[in-house]
Amino acid sequence: MRTPSGPFDRGHTDDLMTFLAASPTPYHAVATVAARLEKAGFRQVAETDAWDGEAGGKYVTRGGAIIAWYVPEGAAAHTPFRIVGGHTDSPNLRVKPQPDMGSQGWRQVAVEIYGGPLLNSWLDRDLGLAGRISLRDGTERLVDIDRPLLRVPQLAVHLDRSVTTDGLKLDKQRHMQPIWGLGNDVHEGDLLGFLEDEHGLARGSITGWDLMTYAVEAPSYLGRDKELVAGPRMDNLLSVHACTAALAEVTKRESLPYIPVLAAFDHEENGSQSDTGADGPLLGGVLERSVFARGGSYEDKARAFAGTVCLSSDTGHAVHPNYSERHDPTHHPRANGGPILKVNVNNRYATDGSGRAVFAAACEKAGVPFQSFVSNNAMPCGTTIGPITAARHGIKTVDIGTAILSMHSVRELCGADDPYLLANALTAFLEG
C-alpha cells in the first residue's frame, strides 16, 4: 500500500468506527457532523435568518441533511465551489404510525421497510431504537435506546425444512415485525410511553416521531491482520465521515481557489425526492444564497456554478470472492485498493472522461491509488446522488466511493485502509 501524502492515516479508520456508533439514524449523523464542524470553527446559520457574506465556515441543517461551506478570505462572489457529497440514510426497519401490535403472547412493534435492505441480515439481531421525536411543546429531540430491545426471530429449520433446499423466503409484512416483550394485552401508546419514561418525559408528550431500528453490535476490525472493518451504515456514513474530515482539514489552508462544500443528503435510498434529498432545493438554495450574501448577482451565480465540480461519494461493490461472475470481468475493485471511480455510460453514474481527469489529479496529488468500477453488462446498475446533482444544478459531477462487501446488509465490510485513502483524495480535491 502506497503511503498517502495527505493528513489522514489508520487513525481515521478508528475515528470512523466511533462516528458509525454515534450515528444510528440520519438525524444523529447530522448532529455528529455538526458537532465536529463546530470544533473546526464552523457556525450554524438558520434558513429563516438573513445571511452575511463574512469569511469562515457555516452550515445549515434540515432534518437528516446538512450543507456546510467555507468561504476563504477575499473570495469573490463568482468563486466556484468544490463540493463533496454523500447521503446520511441507510436501509432499515422504521416504526409505523400505530406501532403497538402483538400475537400469540408476544408484544411486537409494527415496522415498515425503508429502502432496499438485505432482509435476512436483520434476522436474529439485537436491535436498538433511535430517531427523532416531536413534543407537544413544539420542540424536537433525538432519542436513542442503545441496548438490545427488539429482535426479528427467524423460524426454526424444523418448522420449514424447505429453507435448506429452496432458500429463505421472507414476506416483508408477515415475517419482519420484531418482538420486544411478552404479554397478551397490547395497548395503544405502549411504545411511546416507554420512550417517554426512558427520557424523563411526561406521558402524552410525544406527538410525532421518526423512529428506526438498528443493530447494536459495535463496529470492529476483522481478520487475521485486522485489515478489514465490519460495521453498520457504511453505505453511506463512511463517505459522510470522510467528507466531514476533508472539509475540516482544508479550512486550515492559508488560501483556497474554490469554496469547499459538504452536502450530506437524506432519502437517497428511496429516490432522493424530498426537501432534504438531493433532488430537492436545499443545495441549490444554499449555494445561491452564499453567492448573494457576498454581494453577487445572478451573473455571478451562473459563473460560480459553471466552474463548480462535485464529487458524489458513495459506497460501491468490491469483487465478491464467491460471486465473481456477477462482476464485470475486467473491472474487479478490491478492498484496500483505494477509492473507486464509478462509470456508467447510461448516466446511472455522472462520471465522464473530463470528470475522471479531475479525480485522477486529486488522487495523484494525495498519493492515493484509485480503481474503476463498471457493472457487468448483464446486471442492472445502481445509482447515486451524482446524476441528480448534475441534472438539477448543472454542475459537473463525478461519482466515486469505496469498495465494500455486503452492501445494504445490517453489517457491511470494507478494507481498513480505504476510509483514510478516500479522505485524503477528497482533501486534495477540495484544495484544488
- pLDDT band, residue 186 (cuts 50/70/90): confident
| Model pLDDT, residue 222 | 97
Cα distances from 148 to residues 106, 130, 213, 322, 406, in angstroms, run: 16, 12, 10, 32, 23
8 Å CB contact between 384 and 312: yes
| Model pLDDT, residue 5 | 83
Q: Give the chain's length.
A: 432
Cα–Cα distance, 288 to 283 (Å, whole number): 9
- pLDDT band, residue 4 (cuts 50/70/90): confident
| Model pLDDT, residue 2 | 59
| Model pLDDT, residue 158 | 94
Query: Over the stretch 122-154, which tens digit does the pLDDT of each residue have?
Result: 999 999 999 999 999 999 999 999 999 999 999
| Model pLDDT, residue 307 | 97
8 Å CB contact between 371 and 341: yes
| Model pLDDT, residue 206 | 97
Four-residue CA torsion sign, 430, 74, 66, 301: negative
**What value does the mean pLDDT take over residues 371-397?**
96
8 Å CB contact between 65 and 34: no
8 Å CB contact between 338 and 418: yes
Predicted TM-score (pTM) of the model is 0.97
Query: Over the stretch 218-273, which tens digit does the pLDDT of each residue have?
Result: 999 999 999 999 999 999 999 999 999 999 999 999 899 999 999 999 999 999 99
Query: Over the stretch 40-66, which tens digit does the pLDDT of each residue have?
Result: 999 999 999 999 999 999 999 999 999
Mean model confidence pLDDT for the chain: 96
**What value does the mean pLDDT take over residues 311-339?**
97
Beta strands across the sheet bearing 206-215 = 140-150, 127-135, 206-215, 92-103, 106-114, 179-182
**What value does the mean pLDDT take over residues 183-193?**
91
**What value does the mean pLDDT take over residues 66-94?**
97
Cα–Cα distance, 160 to 353 (Å, whole number): 52
| Model pLDDT, residue 406 | 98
Identify the bridge partners of residue 66 per DSSP, sorted by sequence position. Answer: 61, 264
Query: Over the stretch 234-243, which tens digit does the pLDDT of each residue have?
Result: 999 999 999 9
- pLDDT band, residue 356 (cuts 50/70/90): very high
More confident residue, 334 or 1: 334
| Model pLDDT, residue 184 | 85
| Model pLDDT, residue 3 | 75
pLDDT at 1 over 60: no
| Model pLDDT, residue 187 | 87
| Model pLDDT, residue 383 | 95
Grid coordinates belonging to 41: 470553527
Number of CB atoms found within 10 A of residue 141's CB = 12
Cα–Cα distance, 378 to 105 (Å, whole number): 48
- pLDDT band, residue 334 (cuts 50/70/90): very high
Grid coordinates belonging to 19: 462516528
